[in-house]
Amino acid sequence: MFEPRYNSELLQKAVDAFSRLPGIGPKSALRLALYLLRQPMEEADNLATAVTDLRHKVVYCSECRMISDAPLCPVCSDPKRDKGIICVVENVRDVMSIEHTGRYKGLYHVLGGIISPIDGIGPADLAVEPLMERLQKGNVREVILALSTTMEGETTCFYLFKKMSHYQLKITTIARGVGFGDQLEYTDELTLGRSIENRQLFKPE
Amino acid sequence: MFEPRYNSELLQKAVDAFSRLPGIGPKSALRLALYLLRQPMEEADNLATAVTDLRHKVVYCSECRMISDAPLCPVCSDPKRDKGIICVVENVRDVMSIEHTGRYKGLYHVLGGIISPIDGIGPADLAVEPLMERLQKGNVREVILALSTTMEGETTCFYLFKKMSHYQLKITTIARGVGFGDQLEYTDELTLGRSIENRQLFKPE
């Protein structure tokens, strides 16, 4: 067992600070601290400034709750995005993943979690009301529920579906089925069974 | 391949700064940045301060070259340490490792590397002259060479040995042999052969 105690208090503090980050243990933390000591001062200053600025200046988009440098995020303020479609996701990483595909041109809505009774997370803990307020404005014609296909994701989809049922909306979910590049023999039975039931017309691209 | 481009410049900068640290790729860097965004501001400030203080305030001990908060490190300034023995090590981590054993009560000397022609590191790149200056003061009766048992380590040992030969000194190296807890059948031949040649009188502890 590696005892994380050093004869320099400054080193100790840096190691402690790094150790508090997820996935960084005391040994990695020490490695990072010793690495920074060998770098030019600007390197350490740059990291410190980036961390401070990130935490103090990043805001959440007032519309979609995506992290943003301005009150309205680049997606919401982009005139080329289709404001009639909202894609509901669990967190900001999901927005990044979907944006990265380059296949979606509508807006987003970040729930900030999914309904999970076991973790004590109910609808009130999520950005559900802000979503309803956006729908109330009446410009939205489709809501895509892009949540995980887990029990919690399905529960959240169902909850949102009921909650939105009185709006004039097309409510869709992302396609579920066998992933591109997946081999059938390694696909789980549930997915495979559902993808046969929900088979689609073959469209050569 | 994950494209590390985000629509927030602040996030981008933080991810870039974390990515420059060793062992942290763009995905881990994003995870760290998003984690910090969810923490209280003090958490980010604490990390930033620890990093800045570490880089700006940590100095190297004027005697042994160990990292230190003061011009003289706690080991060198401890009246209880034996100032007649200097243990020569490659880097500050080695000092930490030996200190952690609690078995050594002398002083240290951090070379800051070992002789490695292949990496272009020669004696002039190491803190060899400062070591000689310490020996010149005449208070040292033993120098322990605690370097890696690699080709580079052995070369450095040999170089230092010759360099120190005109001082009235006992020059030792750390014991080499089969590690405690090691099984003979898994010990390499060189180590095993040498530990038979260099067998020691059995001393029950």
User: Mean of the pLDDT values across residues B66-77?
Assistant: 94
**Residue B37: which of A7, A50, A67 has the nearest Cβ?**
A67
Q: Is B149 part of any domain?
A: yes
Question: Do A20 and A108 sit in the same domain of this protein?
Answer: no
Instruction: Give the number of A-B residue pairs with CB atoms closer than 8 Å.
Output: 160
- Taking contacts as CB-CB distances below 8 angstroms, the residues of chain B near A99 are 7
State residue A43's pLDDT score. 94
Find the helix packing angle between B9-19 and B26-38, rounded to 10°: 120
Interface test with A, best of B5, B6, B8 (most A CBs within 10 A): B8
Q: Model confidence at B2, in pLDDT bands (50, 70, 90)?
A: very low
- C-beta separation of B113 from B90 below 8 A: yes
Question: Do B23 and B116 sit in the same domain of this protein?
Answer: no
pTM score:
0.78
**Residue A11: which of B22, B33, B67 has the nearest Cβ?**
B67
B39 vs A2: which has the higher pLDDT: B39
Q: Is A192 part of any domain?
A: no
Q: Is B169 part of any domain?
A: yes
Question: Do B81 and B173 sit in the same domain of this protein?
Answer: yes
Question: Do B52 and B137 sit in the same domain of this protein?
Answer: no
Nearest residue of A to residue B78, measured between CA atoms:
A7
> What is d(CA A52, CA B52) in angstroms, rounded to the nearest whole number?
11
CB contact under 8 A, B32 and A21: yes
Digit-coded pLDDT (tens) for B91-135: 999 999 888 888 899 999 999 999 999 999 999 999 999 999 999
Q: Is B194 part of any domain?
A: no
Q: Is A136 part of any domain?
A: yes
Question: Do A29 and A97 sit in the same domain of this protein?
Answer: no
Q: Which residues, in sequence order, are bridge partners of residue A82?
A: A106
- C-beta separation of A147 from A114 below 8 A: yes
The Cα of A117 is separated from the nearest Cα of chain B by a number of Å equal to 21
The Cα of B87 is separated from the nearest Cα of chain A by a number of Å equal to 17
- Taking contacts as CB-CB distances below 8 angstroms, the residues of chain A near B2 are 100
The Cα of A165 is separated from the nearest Cα of chain B by a number of Å equal to 32
Question: Do B97 and B41 sit in the same domain of this protein?
Answer: no
Strands A106-110 vs A82-89: parallel, antiparallel or unpaired: parallel
Q: Round the average pLDDT of chain B to a whole number and report it.
A: 90
A197 vs A57: which has the higher pLDDT: A57
User: Mean of the pLDDT values across residues A180-200?
Assistant: 81
Question: Do A81 and A111 sit in the same domain of this protein?
Answer: yes
**What is the CATH classification number for the domain harbouring B167?**
3.40.1360.10
Digit-coded pLDDT (tens) for A14-23: 999 999 999 9
Number of independent structural domains in chain B: 2
- C-beta separation of A18 from A29 below 8 A: yes
State residue B205's pLDDT score. 61
**What is the CATH classification number for the domain harbouring B45?**
1.10.8.420
Q: Is B62 part of any domain?
A: no
State residue B192's pLDDT score. 83
Q: Is B1 part of any domain?
A: no
- Write the ipTM: 0.78
Nearest residue of B to residue A71, measured between CA atoms:
B8
User: Mean of the pLDDT values across residues A184-202?
Assistant: 81
Question: Do A52 and A78 sit in the same domain of this protein?
Answer: no
State residue B101's pLDDT score. 85
Question: Do A166 and A92 sit in the same domain of this protein?
Answer: yes
The Cα of A168 is separated from the nearest Cα of chain B by a number of Å equal to 31
Strands B142-145 vs B106-110: parallel, antiparallel or unpaired: unpaired
Question: Do B107 and B166 sit in the same domain of this protein?
Answer: yes
Question: Do B89 and B110 sit in the same domain of this protein?
Answer: yes
- C-beta separation of A128 from A135 below 8 A: no
Nearest residue of A to residue B49, measured between CA atoms:
A48
Please calculate the CA angle A173-A174-A178 and round it to the nearest 5 degrees.
130
Domain that holds residue B111: 67-177
Question: Do B155 and B77 sit in the same domain of this protein?
Answer: yes
Digit-coded pLDDT (tens) for B133-181: 999 998 999 999 999 888 899 899 999 999 999 898 999 988 888 888 7
- C-beta separation of B63 from A24 below 8 A: no
Q: Is A182 part of any domain?
A: no
- Taking contacts as CB-CB distances below 8 angstroms, the residues of chain B near A3 are 100
CB contact under 8 A, A54 and B18: no
- Which helix (H) or strand (E) covers residue B108, if one does? strand B106-110
- Taking contacts as CB-CB distances below 8 angstroms, the residues of chain A near B45 are 52, 55
Distances (CA, A) of B37 to A76, B42, B64, B188: 21, 11, 41, 50
- Taking contacts as CB-CB distances below 8 angstroms, the residues of chain B near A55 are 36-37, 39, 41, 43-45
**Residue B10: which of A46, A53, A93 has the nearest Cβ?**
A53
